[in-house]
């Protein structure tokens, strides 16, 4: 088993819950048991009257470590273009998920894609699900990411191996895009099939994902709304409220603070609001009313956006408040510092057992405490809007 995953991610409550380690594990010995991170299956063997524990990971090249987005610090892909966009065609709106569906539908129609791995919402029980869709109709019928957590890469093997898809888009949170970037950068040949199959990653701006229990505890029990009444969930543009849109046209709002305790623990140390590793990042921040901001970060992202415009499925303009995006990105300074303190914590734990590490721990401790924080981004309280 990768000691780094255990020590640096799981025991530090730092897992983003993407599920890529589970998908990439060559022996399928990682699984979810309802906790905040995957767990390793314990295997044992009985010989005579004795039972011994087996190493579930013997002779493995530790693929789980190679794909985990939390074990790498990324320099952001700098934006090539920042546009305001509205979806045209079958889904006509400026909501982020609709803009994403338009880009995907255009990509599928043009043969740029043969499948999409995405976070979605089961319309019957409102459970977040990871799904593989392959037709334009399926793309249009999907709801898209709803800020409810599900391990998106749980269906990656179904897309790559069972359905033999060769041109896949992954649509999820920024950490999912980081995981895609990680797997693409790996030199391990076992991961080549994934590297070749994933063509595009799209991230929605994200300040945190909520555990699905939120639906029962808040929507059903507190607000008295039954699951079958709800058409979709939305987070307001200022991220201060969650909205439940009902099939009869009614709209119910709940303050985001109420939902805060359901946030995935790993989101607390996340340093990426704006999908900085994705080909395309989409959200409402910075866009005029009725549009979404689309940050094009790579040439692949540019091809998909341009294709959607050429097929008249997307209308774009330059009307984006980029200063507000910069402020949100500036938050990263503070979050990176928080991460540096977390790394120091790990180093100090190591130093307890290893005297060689003590000098390094003291050096880092001094450096961190003496480095002044930059005050470019306005300080926000933990529970307030992060601007995404
Ligand atoms: S070390 Fe290998 S077998 Fe063990 S969990 Fe990681 S990928 Fe799976
Ligand atoms: S962040 Fe993703 S890859 Fe890393 S441990 Fe968590 S589920 Fe696995
Ligand atoms: S805040 Fe969003 S991007 Fe960050 S770990 Fe949580 S779900 Fe992933």
Q: According to the model, what pLDDT value does residue 385 have? A: 39
Q: According to the model, what pLDDT value does residue 143 have? A: 80
Q: According to the model, what pLDDT value does residue 376 have? A: 40
Q: How confident is the model at residue 377 (pLDDT cuts 50, 70, 90)?
A: very low
247-306 confidence digits (pLDDT tens): 888 888 887 777 778 889 888 878 888 999 999 999 989 999 999 999 999 999 999 999
- Residue 380, pLDDT > 70, answer no
Q: Which atom of ligand 2 lies closest to the CA of 64?
A: 3
Q: Which ligand has the nearest atom to the CA of 40?
A: 1
60 lines ligand 1 (CB under 6 A): yes
The residue among 179 and 2 whose pLDDT is bigger is 179
Sketch the domain layout of the chain as residue ranges: 3-67, 81-324, 326-370
Residue bearing the CA closest to ligand 2, atom 6:
15
2 lines ligand 1 (CB under 6 A): yes
Alpha carbon of 266 to ligand 3 centroid (Å): 7
Asked if 269 and 8 count as a contact pair (C-beta separation under 8 A), the reply is: no
19-68 confidence digits (pLDDT tens): 999 999 989 999 999 888 999 988 776 766 677 677 778 888 899 999 99
226-263 CB burial, b ≥16 within 10 A, e <16 = eeebbbbbbbebebebbebeeeeeeeeebebeebeebb
Q: Which atom of ligand 1 lies closest to the CA of 24?
A: 7
Question: Of 118-127, 226-235, 276-285, 328-337, where does the model show the most confidence?
Answer: 276-285
Output the pTM of the full model. Answer: 0.84
333-371 CB burial, b ≥16 within 10 A, e <16 = ebbeeebeebebebbbeebeeeeeeeeebeebeeeeeee
Domain 3-67 has CATH 3.30.2320: no
């Amino acid at each position: 088993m990768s000691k780094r995953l255990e020590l640096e991610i799981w025991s530090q409550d730092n897992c983003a819950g993407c599920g890529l380690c589970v998908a990439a594990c060559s022996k399928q010995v990682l699984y979810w048991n309802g906790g905040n991170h995957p767990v390793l299956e314990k295997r044992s063997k009985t010989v005579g009257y004795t039972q011994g524990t087996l190493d579930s990971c013997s002779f493995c090249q530790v693929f789980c470590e190679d794909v985990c987005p939390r074990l790498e610090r990324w320099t952001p892909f700098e934006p090539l273009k920042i546009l305001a966009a509205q979806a045209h065609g079958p889904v006509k709106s400026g909501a982020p998920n609709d803009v994403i569906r338009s880009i995907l539908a255009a990509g599928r129609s043009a043969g740029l894609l043969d499948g999409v791995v995405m976070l979605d919402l089961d319309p019957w029980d409102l459970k977040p699900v990871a799904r593989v869709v392959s037709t334009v109709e399926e793309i249009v019928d999907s709801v898209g990411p709803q800020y409810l957590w599900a391990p998106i890469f749980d269906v990656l093997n179904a897309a790559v191996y069972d359905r033999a898809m060769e041109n896949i888009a992954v649509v999820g949170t920024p950490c999912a895009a980081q995981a895609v970037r990680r797997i693409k950068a790996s030199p391990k040949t076992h991961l080549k099939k994934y590297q070749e199959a994933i063509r595009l990653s799209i991230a929605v701006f994200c300040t945190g994902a909520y555990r699905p229990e939120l639906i029962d505890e808040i929507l059903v029990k507190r607000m008295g709304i039954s699951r079958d009444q709800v058409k979709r969930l939305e987070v307001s543009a200022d991220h201060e409220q969650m909205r439940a849109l009902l099939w009869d046209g009614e709209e119910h709002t709940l303050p985001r603070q109420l939902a805060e305790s359901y946030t995935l623990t790993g989101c607390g140390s996340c340093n990426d609001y704006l999908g900085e590793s994705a080909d395309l990042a989409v959200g409402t921040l910075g866009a005029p009313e009725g549009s979404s901001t689309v940050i094009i970060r790579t040439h692949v992202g540019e091809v998909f956006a341009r294709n959607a415009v050429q097929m008249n499925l997307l209308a774009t303009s330059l009307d984006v408040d980029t200063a507000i995006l910069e402020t949100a990105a500036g938050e990263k300074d503070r979050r990176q510092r928080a991460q540096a303190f977390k790394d120091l914590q790990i180093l100090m734990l190591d130093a307890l057992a290893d005297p060689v590490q003590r000098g390094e721990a003291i050096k880092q401790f001094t450096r961190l405490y003496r480095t002044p924080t930059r005050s470019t981004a306005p300080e926000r309280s933990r529970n307030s809007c992060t601007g995404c």
